[in-house]
Amino acid sequence: MARYLARRLGQAVLVVFGVVALTFVIMRLLPGDPAIAYAGPKASAADLAAARARFGLDAPIPVQLWNYVRDLAAGDLGTSLHTRQPVADDLTLAFPASLELVGAALIFAVAVGLPLGVLAARYKTRFPDFTVRLSSMLAVSVPVFWLALAVRTLFSSVLGWFPVAGEYDAALDSTSPLHVYTNITAVDALFTGNWPMLGSTLHHLVLPALVVAAYPAGVIAQLTRAALIEESAQDHARMARALGFGETAVLTRFSLRPVLNPVLSLIALVFAYSIVNGFLVEAVFNWPGLGRYAADSIRTLDTPAIAGVTLLVALLYVLANLIVDLLQGVVDPRARTR
């Protein structure tokens, strides 16, 4: 296991270096001049030269790359042209909110998708299977912005069960102010015992998390069903039946664990994808997350912010895949030898 861990960590470090270099190239390929975006379209030549000098854009490319890597190592992602704040500070605020939303959504997606996949495989071609396949197909194919609007209209505007927008009730900032440690509101509220804030955050989280969870839940259910049906036709599952185990036990105790690896890989991909692609959900529910920040950065051609988001998301992919690799080594001992 130690060698497996070291190999995976080594690969991750190499990928991170590649990602940093690629992010630098992407910054140079983006259309528009960051100096103009910063100094304004009516800036004088002297102002533009000053802006270029400020961002190091007047140095040769290798020097710029070296400066970029050096600043990154010091945690400096540059200054946002749009918010005029350090990008690292902006991300520190936006990313935890997305992490909270996507984390909750994935917990829900796994908690629902996995059992539904098992249920469908257990009753293959029968009514439960048909129902699961139909509902998971709907969850995967419904456009997320439509689902977000429909859910918000029904459960917030019509029924009034959940708040319309925001991360928590703004009035709590004065009545129950939150001590911030992680910037993940639910976690900070939980660990500081701020129950009104925790309740409000969870209440606000339900609808956007359900909407973000719809796609991964549907995919997890379909993948689990298909993989379980295939696995339960293998010789080892037949052997389990020959030992006297019933069909449910064959699926859950013998076949489920070997099929968890593709499900884990899927979760890693969906996680990183949802972090930045949840911006439509964040927009509908006014959730202060990374998706909204990324969308604003692209709209304003905010090069440092775009590069910062790109780097963060790429690192998330690397980190999520590393965690999944390690989990796969725990779940399936054969993975450690690969």
Partner 1 sequence: MIEIRDLEVRIGDRVIAAVPHLDVGPGQCVAIVGESGSGKTTTLLAILGLLDEAATVTGSIEAFGVRSPSTLRGSKIALVMQSPQGALTPTMRLGTLLRRALALHGVRGRAAADRTRQALRDVLLEDEILRRYPHQVSGGQAQRFALALALALGAEVILADEPTSALDVTVQAEVVAVLRRLHEERGLAVLLVSHDLALVSSIADHVVVMKDGQVVESGPAAEMFAHPAAGYTRELIAATPELPDA
Asked if 338 is part of the footprint of partner 1 (rule: CB under 8 A), the reply reads: no
Min dist CB 261 to partner 1, Å, is 9
Tell me whether residue 78 or residue 258 sits nearer to partner 1 (CB atom). Answer: 258
Asked if 2 is part of the footprint of partner 1 (rule: CB under 8 A), the reply reads: no
Dihedral sign for Cα atoms in the order 335, 314, 139, 204: positive
Asked if 337 is part of the footprint of partner 1 (rule: CB under 8 A), the reply reads: yes
- Asked if residue 52 lies in contact with residue 44, where contact means CB atoms within 8 angstroms, the answer is no
Asked if 170 is part of the footprint of partner 1 (rule: CB under 8 A), the reply reads: no
Rounded distance between C-alpha atoms, residue 8 and residue 66, angstroms: 27
Rounded distance between C-alpha atoms, residue 238 and residue 70, angstroms: 58
Binding mask 58-87 for partner 1 (x = CB under 8 A): ------------------------------
State how far Cα 168 lies from the chain centre: 20
Rounded distance between C-alpha atoms, residue 236 and residue 246, angstroms: 14
Tell me whether residue 119 or residue 240 sits nearer to partner 1 (CB atom). Answer: 240
Residue 246 token pair: 């019933």
Tell me whether residue 54 or residue 253 sits nearer to partner 1 (CB atom). Answer: 253
- Asked if residue 13 lies in contact with residue 25, where contact means CB atoms within 8 angstroms, the answer is no
Number of residues binding to partner 1, judged by CB under 8 A: 20
Tell me whether residue 113 or residue 258 sits nearer to partner 1 (CB atom). Answer: 258
Coil, strand or helix: which one is 232? coil
Angle at 81 between CA 80 and CA 87, to 5 degrees: 5
Find tokens 């884990």 and name the residue.
Answer: 264
The piece of 163-171, 195-203, 306-314, 326-334 that touches partner 1 (CB under 8 A) is 326-334
Asked if 1 is part of the footprint of partner 1 (rule: CB under 8 A), the reply reads: no
Tell me whether residue 13 or residue 239 sits nearer to partner 1 (CB atom). Answer: 239
Asked if 333 is part of the footprint of partner 1 (rule: CB under 8 A), the reply reads: yes
The piece of 56-64, 96-104, 267-275, 329-337 that touches partner 1 (CB under 8 A) is 329-337
Q: Where are the alpha helices (DSSP H) in the chain?
A: 2-29, 34-39, 45-55, 61-73, 87-122, 127-141, 144-151, 172-175, 185-191, 195-231, 235-242, 247-249, 256-277, 279-284, 290-299, 303-331
Residues with Cβ within 8 Å of residue 257, at least 6 apart in sequence:
331, 332
Min dist CB 336 to partner 1, Å, is 10
Binding mask 243-272 for partner 1 (x = CB under 8 A): xxx-------xx--xx--------------
Min dist CB 133 to partner 1, Å, is 18
Binding mask 218-247 for partner 1 (x = CB under 8 A): ----------------xxx-xxxxxxxx--
Interacting residue ranges for partner 1, rule: CB under 8 A: 234-236, 238-245, 253-254, 257-258, 331-334, 337
